[in-house]
Amino acid sequence: MKILLEQLLNGLTIGSFYALIALGYSMVYGVMKLINFAHGDLFALGSYLGYTLLVFGSTYVTITFGIWGGMIAAMLIAAIGIGIAGTLIERIAYRPIYSVGRLPAVVSALGASIVIQNGIMVVWGPRPQAYSSQVVPSVMLNIGGIKITLMQIVVLIISFILMGILFYIVQKTTFGAAIRACALDRDTAALMGINIETIIFFIFALGPALGGMAGVMVGMYYRKISFIMGWNYGLKAFTATILGGIGNIPGAMIGGLLLGVLEMLGSVYISTAYKDVFVFLILILVLIFRPTGLLGEKIAEKV
């Protein structure tokens, strides 16, 4: 039982990363009906921005903010930087071709993904970058016989706070109501006086910002980052989006957490060698038996 509980905590930790990234996919698709394939690479870029601040500025950051304060500072800076990058991608890669159709937008998204990935490789190099123990201390706790790291606790707390804030914004504020209105019908929302461009700007800033903060936490959790990590995490977060119901924000949260738990349990009780296979098998099964996801609504076919 203790082993099972430990793996559930491990799965929730990994799932919180997927959930934060999946929220970006879900928000963009909800309003734009577009899959932002550059989103995973923006997450990776966020991890490198956090790494640069924490490693190269470790002395100043530690003295000024402390270790955990430095982590929060790195997350905030990454959120701002990646939020700006997300809006620039929307302006440059997507906005000029909105009216052309979805396929050109998908191709443009893939092009933006390749540019970001290779940009990371040029600036930081092709080799994986590692955190030292001075930057990220390893603290193991034993709570009732269950082993959990302090970093896991910090990650879970921050992730749930971020998800809670986003849920409140979308569900309980006037601006969130505008986002939901755009997701239902952009043309009608525009006729009601909602500034569609402002909504699009907001989701292309907020979604990548959450992904950037997740990137910082992933780097500190695993103590290693790579310029190709955006593909792996991006695909798994996309799977989580499908699992929860694409375009559904609570669904993205639940899908990410559930996928992390299923991946971890599959790794422990089946084999770590098939970890990625297990995740994408879930994607195939969901698309076959529940294509709208767990919380997605059935769409009536127009004739």
Q: What is the pLDDT of residue 164?
A: 94
Q: How confident is the model at residue 301 (pLDDT cuts 50, 70, 90)?
A: very low
> Terminus-to-terminus CA distance in the chain, angstroms?
53
- pLDDT higher than threshold 60 for residue 244: yes
Q: Per residue in 107-165, pLDDT tens?
A: 888 899 999 999 999 999 989 988 876 677 677 887 877 888 888 999 999 999 999 99
Task: State the CB neighbour count (10 A cutoff) for residue 149.
Answer: 17
Do the domain assignments include residue 296?
A: no
Q: Any idea what DSSP says for residue 127?
A: S
- Residue 303 belongs to some domain of the structure: no
The mean of the pLDDT values for the chain is: 87
Give mean pLDDT, residues 229-241.
Answer: 92
Q: What whole-number distance in Å separates Cα of residue 101 and Cα of residue 106?
A: 9
Of the pLDDT bands very low, low, confident and very high (cuts 50, 70, 90), residue 63 is low
Q: What is the pLDDT of residue 303?
A: 42
The tens digit of pLDDT for each residue in 69-100 reads 778 888 999 999 999 999 999 888 888 887 77
| Mean pLDDT along residues 176-201 | 89
Judge whether residue 245 has pLDDT over 80: yes
**pLDDT at residue 299, rounded to an integer:** 53
The confidence score (pLDDT) of residue 45 equals 95
> By percentage, how much of the chain surpasses pLDDT 70?
93
Res 61 pLDDT > 70: no
Where does the pLDDT of residue 274 fall: very low under 50, low under 70, confident under 90, or very high at 90 and above?
A: confident
For residues 155 and 276, the model is more confident at 155
Number of domains in the chain: 1
Question: Would you say residue 297 lies in a domain?
Answer: no
The residues pairing with 141 across neighbouring beta strands, listed in sequence order, are 148
Q: Is the pLDDT confidence value at 235 over 70?
A: yes
Residue 262 located in a structural domain: yes
What span, in angstroms and rounded, lies between the C-alpha atoms of 28 and 246?
Answer: 10
For residue 271, the model assigns a pLDDT of 77
> Is the residue at 54 inside a domain?
yes
CA-based radius of gyration for the chain: 19
**In this structure, is residue 23 part of a structural domain?**
yes
Q: Which of 39-53, 242-256, 259-273 has the weakest average pLDDT?
A: 259-273
**Sequential DSSP letters for 218-245:** HHHHHSEE-TTHHHHHHHHHHHHHHHH-
301 domain-assigned: no
In this prediction, residue 58 carries a pLDDT of 61
Query: Other C-beta atoms within 10 Å of 187: how many?
Result: 9
Contacts of 38 (CB under 8 A, 6+ apart): 89, 93, 109, 110, 112, 113, 116
pLDDT for res 35: 86
Per-residue pLDDT at 42: 95
CATH of the domain at 150: 1.10.3470
Sign of the C-alpha dihedral computed for residues 154, 159, 162 and 163 taken in this order: negative
In a domain, 257, yes or no: yes
- Asked if 263 and 278 count as a contact pair (C-beta separation under 8 A), the reply is yes
| Residue 154 belongs to domain spanning | 2-133+145-289
